[in-house]
């Protein structure tokens, strides 16, 4: 697959503080790439360097295999941190300005306003928008040039669960369009739901990078409940059982390699036990995330 972004030993110092430290990263076309990391880990600073507003201390990066210029940026739609618009202009007018800077066709404006469902408020001044509407206008502005890549820095910051779900749907729709997306976020659940790949930063250093699907690989945990007094004992007899925990009356069985929930179910059924609850739990990104950060200590 074609490499869209390649980062090579990118570093940024703010005085003594090293905000981004020798970062290497690759993003390929069509990926939905999640950037994770605690507050202050350097996500925004990295994106700022990629978008030409923060000057790197050292290191380099290429977009589409070429060193970046302002022309490259026109092919990228990006919103860093907060939505930024002229408060005294309407949403429509702001997008017209964005389109002008990007050299984009202003006929796109109607389309992107539709995508983010802002068409009926487009004539209102930006400063009268709610936070959710501002975030959605920001996504619209990033889309206005029909970019190959979309960069979103915490697009759901400060939104209520419904707003978050709306943005998630928008991002999914855009991703389904085949666009490459780089998404910095704190919401691990969100990243797990929409991203194909992810990277974890900590204090400016890359701790991990890989496909999201890999997170669930490896050992599998199965939740079991049954109306049977000896369930705990029986579970221990099962050859595939690793460790077993009991939590709120539900058994959490960590399976050994190569064993799956259906094997456990079969085993219990043969013992004459019918489960009332049986669920395979993949490891959550959250757990993996905490593990990665923890290992680093």
Span interacting with ligand ATP, options 13-21, 102-110, 123-131, 216-224, rule CB under 6 A = 13-21
* 151 close to 124: Cβ distance less than 8 angstroms: no
Q: How far is CA 165 from CA 68, 78, 216, 231, in A?
A: 34, 20, 23, 39
The reply on whether position 44 binds Mg ion by CB under 5 A is yes
From the CB of residue 22, how many other CB atoms can be counted at a distance below 10 Å? Answer: 14
Nearest Cα to Cα of residue 211 among 2, 10, 56, 32: 32
Nearest Cα to Cα of residue 8 among 18, 22, 21, 20: 22
Nearest Cα to Cα of residue 82 among 140, 149, 143, 157: 157
CB closer to Mg ion out of 156 and 241: 156
Backbone angles phi, psi at 8, to 5 degrees: -130, 105
The option from ligand ATP, another protein, Mg ion, none interacting with 37 (CB < 5 to 8 A, set by class) reads ligand ATP
Which residues are within 8 A (CB) of 217 and not within 5 positions of it... i.e. 6 or more apart? none
Q: Which residues of the chain form contacts with another protein (CB under 8 A)?
A: 48, 51-55, 69-74, 76, 78, 80, 82, 84-89, 93, 97-98, 101-103, 141
CB closer to ligand ATP out of 45 and 275: 45
* Residue in 4, 19, 32, 139 binding ligand ATP, rule: CB under 6 A: 19
- 206 in helix, strand or coil? strand
* 123 close to 92: Cβ distance less than 8 angstroms: yes
The reply on whether position 41 binds Mg ion by CB under 5 A is no
Span interacting with ligand ATP, options 12-20, 113-121, 192-200, 228-236, rule CB under 6 A = 12-20
Give the nearest distance from C-beta 93 to another protein in angstroms. Answer: 7
Span interacting with Mg ion, options 38-46, 69-77, 85-93, 166-174, rule CB under 5 A = 38-46
Give the nearest distance from C-beta 220 to another protein in angstroms. Answer: 43
Eight-class DSSP state of 253 = E
* Residue in 44, 141, 145, 156 binding ligand ATP, rule: CB under 6 A: 44
The reply on whether position 54 binds Mg ion by CB under 5 A is no
Between CA 40 and CA 201 the distance in angstroms is: 10
Give the nearest distance from C-beta 247 to another protein in angstroms. Answer: 47
Give the nearest distance from C-beta 198 to Mg ion in angstroms. Answer: 16
The reply on whether position 34 binds ligand ATP by CB under 6 A is no
Angle, vertex CA 199, rays to CA 79 and CA 286, nearest 5: 100
The option from Mg ion, ligand ATP, another protein, none interacting with 19 (CB < 5 to 8 A, set by class) reads ligand ATP
Between CA 265 and CA 23 the distance in angstroms is: 46
The reply on whether position 45 binds Mg ion by CB under 5 A is no
Interface size with ligand ATP, residues (CB under 6 A): 11
Interface contacts to ligand ATP, rule CB under 6 A = 14, 17, 19, 37, 39-45
């Amino acid at each position: 697959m074609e490499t869209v972004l390649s980062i090579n030993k990118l570093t940024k110092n703010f005085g003594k503080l090293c905000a981004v430290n020798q970062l290497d990263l690759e993003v390929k076309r069509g990926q939905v790439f999640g950037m994770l990391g605690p507050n202050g880990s350097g996500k925004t600073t990295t994106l700022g360097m990629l978008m030409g507003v923060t000057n790197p201390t050292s290191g380099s990066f290429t977009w589409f295999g070429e060193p970046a210029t302002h022309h490259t940026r026109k092919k990228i739609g990006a919103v860093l941190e907060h939505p930024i618009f002229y408060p005294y202009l309407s949403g429509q007018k702001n997008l017209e300005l964005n389109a002008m800077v990007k050299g984009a066709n202003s006929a796109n404006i109607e389309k992107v306003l539709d995508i983010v469902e802002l068409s009926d408020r487009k004539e209102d001044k930006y400063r009268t928008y709610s936070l959710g509407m501002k975030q959605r206008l920001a996504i619209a502005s990033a889309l206005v040039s029909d970019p190959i890549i979309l960069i979103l820095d915490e697009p759901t910051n400060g939104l209520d669960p419904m707003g978050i779900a709306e943005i998630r749907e928008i991002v999914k729709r855009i991703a389904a369009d085949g666009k490459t997306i780089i998404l910095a976020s704190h919401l691990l659940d969100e990243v797990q739901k929409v991203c194909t790949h992810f990277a974890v930063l900590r204090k400016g250093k890359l701790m991990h990078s890989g496909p999201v699907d890999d997170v669930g690989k490896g050992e599998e945990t199965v939740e079991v409940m049954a109306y049977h007094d000896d369930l705990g004992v029986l579970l221990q007899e099962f050859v595939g059982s690793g460790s077993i925990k009991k939590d709120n009356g539900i058994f959490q069985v960590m399976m050994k390699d190569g064993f799956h929930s259906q094997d456990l179910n079969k085993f219990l059924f043969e013992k004459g036990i019918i489960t009332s609850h049986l669920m395979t739990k993949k490891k959550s990104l959250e757990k993996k995330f905490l593990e990665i950060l923890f290992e680093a200590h």
